[in-house]
Amino acid sequence: MLRLTASIDVDIALLGCDVAATKAHARALVKAGLLEPAALEALDGALDDLAREWREGTLRPHPEDEDVHSLVERELTTRLGDVGSRIHAGRSRNDLVAADLRLWCRDAAVDLCRVTGSLIASLADLAEEHTDTLMPGYTHLQRAQPVSLGFHLAAHGFAVARDMTRLQAARAAADVSVLGAGALATSTLGLDPKVAATELGCAGVFANAIDAVSDRDFAVDLTYACTTLAVHLSRLAEEIVLWTSAEFGFASLPDEWSTGSSMMPQKRNPDLAELVRGRSAGAIGDLTSLLTLLKALPLAYGRDLQEDKEVLFRSVARAGDAALAMTRLMAALDFDTARLGEAAAGGGGWATDVAEALVMRGVPFRHAHRAAGRLVAGLEELGIELAEASQELLADCHPLLDLDDRGLADPKSALERRSMPGGPAPSSVREQAQTLKRLVQGMVRELP
Ligand code: ARG
């Protein structure tokens, strides 16, 4: 029985939140005339002691402490006697655990916002640094059109910026006080839920007590934000794995950020990136676990809900670790800009530009596309590059093509031609890096 019901090993992490929620509830009891105002000082002192002892590692749970809430109440009763025995009036562990968890999520979302903010800022810095570093852009992992490394990294930055927005929204979802909901139907004691809400600095108060004790949407929201973050980071991690391979050779990792092989002395493995990639599997699993936990659970509280914490805590820790690891990894990557540039020049990445040049001269796109395709095939057959194409070949593909169009093969000019907002031209990428920095600064400024 105890092995299944006890959750203290996991929910002891809520101790700081339980202390805050208990202080807030005590204020509501005082306001309702159910606790002497003078008792608050001793109560706050004892609660602060508990929090400190826990931080210092001297607080020892008793075998009968089923969860963090039982522990705090027992300790208060032991230390304060009568005041401790009065504290649970008008509250239940059902509203208490939901209140604690909301406070925990609120803090965790803020911490994650800061970590993702640094990652976005460092991606924006790298994007700025590499607005002129050519690289091939890919679709289907086939070379498609030349872009810049800065453009590519800014793309990852925008994905993480959306995660940061989701984290902010998850914080707002958690920022509601549910103290006063009781077990499911409030209480007869005349408690004012706004007192605890104000004390906790919550933006809102529960609207329905049954919903207040059953709702774990805020935890799902935070886990979802962690999951999209983990999935985004897995995509960035995968690029690092690819880029640091001999086959790509776009970047290398210094020794401190790679691992050796127990057998092959020459190996320099991108284990950290692989682990970020691999751990995203657990992130998806955790989101699924949490949603499955809630699925078809009848109102109001069900003990199943106790299982939410392990999943949520793990999800948040994993996402934070991954974001930090990627921040450090990105800063440590040593890009081979010459090799990136060579790769950007090859592979017929100019073919669309040839077609678009014809469109600008009035040729319908479908005809222009065919002409450019013929040019690619003709050059391939002769085994030469566009820069070496003859006037005959060009005119044969389309009468409106001439020797000047050989300049379209230059990837740098391909970038310059794409200076629209959101495009890969250095000026556009500089703009994007600024946008990313503004986004982060704006979101960080709103954090408490
Ligand atoms: N430890 C429980 C949880 O984490 C809270 C206790 C509520 N238990 C109860 N029997 N009403 O959800």
Report how far apart, in Å, the C-alpha atoms of 145 and of each of 132, 159, 351 are.
15, 21, 9
pTM above 0.75, yes or no: yes
**Residue-by-residue pLDDT tens, the chain, 448 positions:** 888 999 999 999 999 999 999 999 999 999 999 999 999 999 999 999 999 999 999 999 998 999 999 999 999 999 999 999 999 999 999 999 999 999 999 999 999 999 999 999 999 999 999 999 999 999 999 999 999 999 999 999 999 999 999 999 999 999 999 999 999 999 999 999 999 999 999 999 999 999 999 999 999 999 999 999 999 999 999 999 999 999 999 999 988 888 887 887 777 889 999 999 999 999 999 999 999 999 999 999 999 999 999 999 999 999 999 999 999 999 999 999 999 999 999 788 999 999 999 999 999 999 999 999 999 999 999 999 999 999 999 999 999 999 999 999 999 999 999 999 999 999 999 999 999 999 999 999 999 8
Contact 363, 400 (CB under 8 A): yes
Q: Identify the pLDDT of residue 163.
A: 98
Q: Identify the pLDDT of residue 3.
A: 86
**73-112 per-residue burial string, b: 16 or more CB within 10 A, e: under 16:** bebbbebbeebbebbbebbbbbbbbbbbbbbbbbbbbeeb
Cα(70) to centroid of ligand 1, in Å? 10
Q: Identify the pLDDT of residue 263.
A: 80
Among 373, 206, 233, 225, smallest CA distance to 287 is for 225
Report whether residue 131 contacts ligand 1, using a CB cutoff of 6 Å.
Answer: no
Residue to substitute in 67, 105, 215, 304 for testing ligand 1 pocket (most ligand atoms within 8 angstroms of CB)? 67
Q: Identify the pLDDT of residue 35.
A: 97
Q: Identify the pLDDT of residue 208.
A: 98
Sign of the Cα torsion 43, 46, 49, 53 reads negative
Report whether residue 93 contacts ligand 1, using a CB cutoff of 6 Å.
Answer: yes
Cα(67) to centroid of ligand 1, in Å? 8
Distance of CA 130 to the CA centre of its chain: 24
Report how far apart, in Å, the C-alpha atoms of 227 and of each of 110, 124, 156, 302, 446 are.
16, 22, 15, 25, 23
Cα(197) to centroid of ligand 1, in Å? 21
- Both tokens of 420, joined, read 């629209």
The pLDDT tens digits for 365-387 are 999 999 999 999 999 999 999 99
Which residues are CB-contacts of 305 (< 8 A; sequence separation ≥ 6)? 97, 214, 216, 293, 297
Report whether residue 327 contacts ligand 1, using a CB cutoff of 6 Å.
Answer: no
Residues belonging to the active site: 140, 261
